[in-house]
Amino acid sequence: MKESKMKVKVIGRDYKETFKDILQEYTKVTKEFGSEYEEREIAIDDGYYIFIADSKDIYNMSRDELVELWEKGIEEEEEEELNPLDRLNWN
């Protein structure tokens, strides 16, 4: 995958959920990007994932690259869950 400084957020939904079920999260994320963002949605396992980016380069990424990006995000989330004390403010 090409190294890029593209800002990307991923929103997932279960195959049983509709866009309406993630609308609040979607709105929050897209507000972070302002009026300039691009998005792609792909199916992974039993869910659908919307990749929101600040660059049209998101369209040049292959499905495998998007899945790799998604997996990296999952690993980061799991790492945060394993180390909750790291996020505490000790001041």
The answer to whether 9 and 27 have CB atoms below 8 angstroms apart is no
Q: Using one digit for the tens of pLDDT, what is the confidence trace for 1-18?
A: 445 588 999 999 998 999
The answer to pTM > 0.85 is no
pLDDT average, residue stretch 18-42: 94
Is residue 82 helix, strand or coil? helix
pLDDT average, residue stretch 16-23: 92
Strands 38-44 and 8-14: unpaired
